[in-house]
Amino acid sequence: MRLSIHLFLLMISLQLRSGENTTLVNFNHLQHLTEKIVFFGETVSIVHIYSNYPEYRWVDAEESGPEGIACVDDAARAAVVYLRHYELTHNVNSIAEAKSLLKFIMKMETDDGMFYNFIFANHSINKEGKTSYKSFGWWASRGVWSMALGYRLMKGPYPEFASKLKSCIERTFPHIDSLAQSHGKSDMIGEFCVPKWLIFESAADATSELLLGLIDYYRATNDKKVKLFIHDLSDGFKLMQDGDIRTFPYGLHRSWQTMWHMWGNGQTQVLASASKLFKENGMNQSAEKEAKGWYSRLLIEGFIKEMDVSAPQQKIKYEQIAYGIRPMAVGLIRLYESKKDVKYLKMAGLAASWLFGNNVLHQQIYDPTTGRCFDGIKDSVTINKNSGAESTIEALYTIIELEQYPEVVKYLRYGRVKSGKTPRYTYAVFQGGEDGELTLAIDLTEQKVLLFEGRESSKFQLNIGTCH
């Protein structure tokens, strides 16, 4: 087993090193999924939702009945990816791709500030489906996020287009205000407190995507009303946080009611971003509590899909997907940017290494030569080799954010080779081929996370009696 792990790490290391001076970001598959259509009299871009192995042709969505060919959910996520790529690299093609996607998103907003999600093959809007009906929920949140980031980046170079985005964003404010009106109201589910002023009352996951947009909009406008929205909604996140580094559930932010799931759970990404923006330590403390107590355990013990914190023995390990990796990896990057603790940046690299083989199957999930990201790990032996929009976009987003910091890209080559526990420490050892060795440990006595590399890693293991 040890030999196979070393061979696997060497293979990944060689593949990544072959493009050491180039980016790992490849938009080819996302562009394959993208189609320009005429929609309500204007040429816009849509992103086809699924493509299946081995041909990777477009596939319609039918999980909840006939849903359609493309949706706001994926167009908005793709727009965010292109916009961040433009912001970090100044690539003009990326801003053009984002504008075309944003045109579609704006047309899916209704006059009262809600959104439909899917369109059918004939380019009509799916107005009845349970994943598409007019609402202010998941797809609205992602729509606001993409439009707000677009507004922040385009208000200088593209003022006329930015003005349209601004109008569409502000059309949603009455719905956000109606959420905030319930600020402070909560229920108890068993021993767990549940706020009632988030999307769907307690959907901190969906609310996190909305807040990422509101943070960008505030950065562009300094709108005091938006600042209040951010504070009020973020308060709900802290109410849904339980435990600490030593006590279950270890500082995680619940996703909805008593459920935690890895996908889309972006509360730490939000809180660390808002803390840096507003210089408020309470937000950072909440983000850091999740990173120290929960993210560290996921890196040490392995990822899971979801868990009801009121019945943790029933936790579900699979399916694991790229949409679970991004909130954790980018959340840790934002925490590093806020705290300037390099440990969190390295942890972000370890989280993203799941995409390159640091997973239960030791298989590469994202392929930088094609831009495809597999749709996930279905179980302990099976990869879902389809490559749809969500997985592709979330992988690209994660890598774009990591590549801001070239010194951390090497951690994408690391793989976990063993884990252990002592009365004081919970730890894991990662090896990165010729890049060396790393130990990540939770010190339960001192209540802190430790990260050792090279000789210090070997020394730590000797000190706790793990080397023979």
pLDDT of the residue at 261 = 98
Distance CA 140, CA 130 (A): 14
Contact 146, 159 (CB under 8 A): no
Contact 141, 148 (CB under 8 A): no
Which stretches in the chain have pLDDT values below 70?
1-21, 63-65, 466-468
Contact 123, 39 (CB under 8 A): yes
Closest residue by Cα to residue 199 from 146, 237, 238, 243: 237
Distance CA 368, CA 390 (A): 16
Distance CA 235, CA 196 (A): 11
Residue 382: both structure tokens together: 């099976």
Distance CA 208, CA 270 (A): 6
pLDDT of the residue at 2 = 39
Residue with tokens 């061979």, as numbered in its chain:
7
pLDDT of the residue at 72 = 98
Domain 23-413's class? Answer: mainly alpha
CA angle 281, 284, 287 (to 5 degrees): 155
| H helix and E strand count, the chain | 16, 18
- Establish how many alpha carbons lie within 13 A of residue 20's alpha carbon, considering only the half-sphere containing its beta carbon: 9
Residue type, 52: N
Distance CA 71, CA 68 (A): 8
Residue 24: both structure tokens together: 């790992």
Distances in whole angstroms, Cα of residue 425 to Cα of each of 87, 300, 441: 41, 11, 6
Contact 329, 402 (CB under 8 A): yes
Distances in whole angstroms, Cα of residue 454 to Cα of each of 278, 434, 437: 37, 11, 5
In this prediction the pTM is 0.95
Count of other CB atoms within 10 angstroms of residue 159: 10
Residue 427: both structure tokens together: 């730890």
The residues, any chain, with a CB within 8 Å of residue 92's CB and separated by 6 or more, are 86
Please state the length of the chain.
468
Domain boundaries, the chain: 23-413, 414-468
Distances in whole angstroms, Cα of residue 139 to Cα of each of 118, 133, 143: 10, 10, 6
